[in-house]
Amino acid sequence: MQRCSPRLALTLSAVPLAGMVLCASFAAPPAKSTRAAGSVAAPGPNVSDAVYRRDVLPVIDEYCVPCHTGDDASAGLSLSKDKDAASVLAHRDLWEKVAANIESKHMPPKGMPMPTDAQRARVLAFVQATLSQAVCDVKDPGRVTARRLNRAEYENTVRDLVGVSVPGLTEDFPSDDVGYGFDNIGDVLTLSPLQLEKYLAAAGRISRAVIAAPEDRRTAGETRRGPHVIAGDLLDGKAGGEPGTGNYTLYSNGDAGFRYEFPAPGRYLVKAVAWEQQAGPESAKMAFLLGETPVQTVDVSATEANPGTYEATLEVRKAGMRRVAVSFLNDYYRSEQDTPDPKLRGDRNLLIGSLEVRPLSAALVAPPTVAALSQAQQRLIRVLPANSSESAKTAATRKNLTTFLLRAYRRPATAAETDRLVNLASRVRGQGGSFERGMQVAVQAALVSPSFLFRIEQDPVSRDPRAKRPLTDYELATRLAYFLWSSMPDDRLLALASQKKLQDPITLQIEAKRMLRDPRAAQTLGDNFAAQWLQLRKLSQITPDTKRFPEFTDEVRSAMRSETLLYFQHVVGDDRSVLDFLDSNYTYLNEPLARLYGTAGVTGRQFRRVVLNGSQRGGVLTQASVLSVTSNPTRTSPVKRGRFVMENLLGSPIPMPPPGVGQLPDDNKRKVLEGTLRQRMEQHRSDPSCASCHARMDPIGFGLENYNAIGMWRKLDDGHLIDASGALPGGKPFSGPQQLRLALKAKAPQFTYNLSEKLLTYALGRGIESADRCNVDLIAQSVAKKNYRFSALVTAIVTSEPFRYRRADRPAAPAPRVASISATATATVTNAAAKAQEKNPHE
């Protein structure tokens, strides 16, 4: 999992003590607080040189300094110079890692003299109190970069803004970079020239899909090819067909069509130029479809040499975007093996040369009133010109754009922003374009504005660039909406923002709970937070050996993902305890997954909540999705599984292995190491450079060895009885997955702190900084006091200081790369508008 820091710096991801190997990485996040949630040490008189010399210095001198002193200190790390309390503050990052290694008993390593538990406790108490005083006294809410909308946020925002989902809108967008485990981190969401081109094209598609301009429609007398006379090879189709040269071939019972904006209720004519490749005793049968509904069926007996034109009448009761298509109903194929009769052999196919839709009444060509517009179009055109004068068109354009920009920019647009787009629409009309065409182009320009593509929190000029400020109500509405819905604020949030009510923490809590009750919250948090936190997105990449694991199919892969997402969504939607992620007595199964688990009584492909009996399953750690992504293609991986627990559940990062360290051979290649996987790994990690980190990960992973590489329960490994005993860092022993789950649940404060940190990272779109740690502690404490409810976690985050405030350590003006987008995009859209009357693009 790649982690990124706003500043590129070399930071130690693990501090090696007493002769251990140095592990380092670029762009690692600041080290996590070693405090358990609920144990924030209040700074006081104990933070003194006297206490340091009494409780800390003797332990460091006896157990650490022998290996870490002078110019030849192990790994170049010397602790011999830190002789007073001030040195702990001066080397804060170092001492956080020293404390973490001492607390986990990772250091000193085995074979070296060890401090007593009481000595460890005194060192930890001093370091935590000292660092708490240093960090918590700094009231710094942190800096959030202007964040580009990622792919999911962009698609959701467009849907909620214009009221329709445009198919395939982001399919060819570049993938979003990941930082701190998530793809919504502002510092890594850059904007390349290629992406800007994609945004321009997408904005044009959106504006034309929602606003139907007269130039886009066909009148009865037109014969040119426009967006509603579509050549066969430009149609979209479902399975069972593919575009060819100038046509679309349906070779099985599929369909082909396109989306059409019906401007008003009425009767429409649909024409298809088609022919068949004949085989069998009957002609090809073709059905005309409106949406998914068959309208009329015809026999197609025309040939390629002489294509036929086939017609049907559509009765449309409501204006709006609908799909018009034709489908192939009677696919036929017989080979020599199928029939001895040559007359019955052959392959019947249906070929579509073009598909056309036209209104049967001239009155349908231009909608005369707002009421006649489609529901989607009414979101953008709420006012039509009072008359045909240019001033009336300008006034209507301004009113429409003022309303639209409030929602598109997530704040009221400035007069200059509105004027720019009104003038752009006027220029289009001056070139002969219609009122609707002017609106199309203005909307397209708005959708490539930085104010739409980015979430910009504009800071005023301040003498102190690090001074904090409360977010505006509109900024809070935006943060809240993208946190819980991955989309724009709804009308209620915008209304509260206009009334300046979102500064009130109580109102924030009320709105957060309202939004959590909306099904969008569970859905989007599952898809965008949980799928990354629990590594579900890696499921599509895993390749289990199907010879070893024939039970693994694409259907099972999909079911694995669905189980974990439905489980997460249940915790969110029903406001369950977050500790359910560690252990529970229920899950969500369908028949294919229940068969994998050996669970009886679950039939059909529909998922349902299943109460678990016995000790084999419970919580996300025993779900096949997590078990599979933490395995290798041919075998399990206690290392990956242990690392997953340490990093994703307990929040204790493990450094990457040093260069040159070998891996355990897979089952197909091993020759020397024998026995169970556990026995072979114990032979492997005898290498001193491997032992320290494996001592933390492997014992946890061994507790999950009863699950094979795709999550099936087993008792034997290669004919040997599995030993699923292990221990958590710090010495808590367990035997088997049930005891492992209980041991993890006993670490509820540490798990809650880690989950709070990850969800806060996701909510803010930045990594957690040292000044955030006290706030994370407070969030975790609040969750624990409210029975660990998921809603308590969310409300604690949205009322926290980092969520409601920001500091500016950058210039108040937008960064040049953001500011330049507006000029580039507007110029491009303007040039495109000048050509809009010459070329009529189709979808």
Winning range, highest mean pLDDT, from 70-79, 407-416, 723-732, 819-828: 407-416
- Tokens (6 digits) for 109: 């390593």
Distance, in Å, from the CA atom of 416 to the CA atom of 422, rounded to the nearest integer, reads 10
- At 740 the pLDDT is 97
The pLDDT of residue 28 is 31
pTM: 0.74
Contact 115, 64 (CB under 8 A): no
- Show the tokens assigned to 816: 């040049």
The answer, yes or no, to whether residue 667 has pLDDT greater than 70, is: no
Q: Percent of the chain, pLDDT > 90? A: 53
Residue 349's nearest CA partner among 247, 264, 437, 423 is 247
Helix axes 473-484, 491-498, angle to 10 degrees: 160
From the list 258, 321, 311, the residue with the least C-alpha distance to 286 is 311
308-316/332-334 β-pairing: unpaired
Distance CA 808, CA 471 (A): 12
Which of left, alpha, beta for 583 (phi over 0: left; psi -120 to 50: alpha)? beta
pLDDT one-digit tens code per residue, 98-112: 777 777 677 787 778
Q: Within 10 A of 275 (CB to CB), how many other CB atoms are there?
A: 21
Secondary structure (3-state) at 269: strand
Burial state string for 426-443 with b = 16 or more CB within 10 A and e = fewer than 16: bbbbeeebbbbbbbbbbb
Q: Are strands 608-611 and 586-589 parallel, antiparallel or unpaired?
A: antiparallel
**pLDDT top residue among 745 and 835:** 745
Question: What are 766-815's pLDDT values in tens digits?
Answer: 999 888 988 999 999 999 999 999 999 999 999 999 999 998 765 444 44
User: Which residues, in sequence order, are CB contacts of 709 under 8 Å at separation 6+?
Assistant: 544, 548, 549, 627, 628, 631, 632, 633, 634, 635, 636
Altogether, the residues listed in the chain come to a count of: 843
Rounded Cα distance, 622 and 615, in Å: 10
**DSSP string over 334-362:** E-TTT-S-GGG-EEEEEEEEEEEEEESSG
Q: How far is Cα of residue 413 from the mean position of the Cα atoms in its chain?
A: 29
Strands of the 255-262 sheet, one edge to the other: 236-237, 255-262, 320-328, 284-290, 293-300
What are the tokens at 569? 């969504």
Helical ranges in 303-414 per DSSP H: 375-380, 390-408
Cα angle 623, 627, 630; round to 5: 150
In this prediction, residue 837 carries a pLDDT of 41
Closest CA to 499 of 468, 481, 469, 476: 476
- Determine the residue type at 208: R
Average pLDDT of the chain? 82
Tell me what pLDDT residue 366 has: 46
Judged against a pLDDT cut of 60, whether residue 9 lies above it is answered with no
697 touches 654 (CB < 8 A): yes
Q: pLDDT confidence of 371, banded at 50, 70, 90? A: low
Q: What percent of the chain has pLDDT over 70?
A: 77
Paired with 253 in beta bridges are none
pLDDT at 817 over 50: no
Distances (CA, A) of 22 to 71, 105, 303, 658, 706: 16, 17, 75, 8, 34
What local confidence, expressed as pLDDT, does residue 799 receive? 98
Provide the pLDDT for residue 827: 58
Asked whether the beta carbons of 123 and 100 are under 8 A apart, the reply is no
The enclosing H or E element of 677 equals helix 677-684
- Whether 461 has a pLDDT exceeding 50, the answer reads yes
The DSSP call for residue 280 is S
**b/e sequence 476-508, b meaning 16+ C-beta within 10 Å:** bbbbbbbbbbbbbbbeebbebbeeebbeeeeeb
Terminal-residue alpha carbon distance, the chain: 38
The domain limits of the chain are: 10-136, 144-217+368-462+811-843, 220-364, 544-566+582-644+654-740
779 in Cβ contact with 752 (< 8 Å): no
What tens digit of pLDDT does each residue of 292-350 get? 899 999 999 999 999 999 999 998 888 788 889 999 999 888 887 788 888 888 889 99
The rounded distance, in Å, linking the Cα atoms of 433 and 397 is: 14
Predicted local distance difference test score (pLDDT) of residue 21? 27
**pLDDT for 565:** 98
Contact 751, 728 (CB under 8 A): no
pLDDT in tens, 695-718: 778 899 999 999 999 999 999 998
Q: What is the mean pLDDT of residues 239-245?
A: 65
Cβ neighbours, 10 Å, residue 168: 11
**7-11, 375-379, 475-479, 818-822: which is most confident:** 475-479
Find all residues with CB under 8 Å of 464, minimum gap 6, and list them: none
One DSSP character per residue, 548-594 reads T-TT--HHHHHHHHHHHHHHHHHHHHTT-BGGGGT--SEEEE-HHHH
pLDDT band at 231 (very low <50, low <70, confident <90, very high): low
Which tokens go with 561?
């993902």
Q: Give CA angle at 181 (199, 690), nearest 5°.
A: 145
Residue 221 pLDDT level (bands cut at 50, 70, 90): very low
Tally Cβ neighbours within 10 Å of residue 729: 20
Give the model confidence (pLDDT) of 129-175 as tens digits.
777 776 676 678 888 889 999 999 999 999 999 988 887 889 889 99
- The CATH code for residues 220-364 is 2.60.120.260
Q: Looking only at Cα atoms, what is the longest distance across the chain?
A: 103
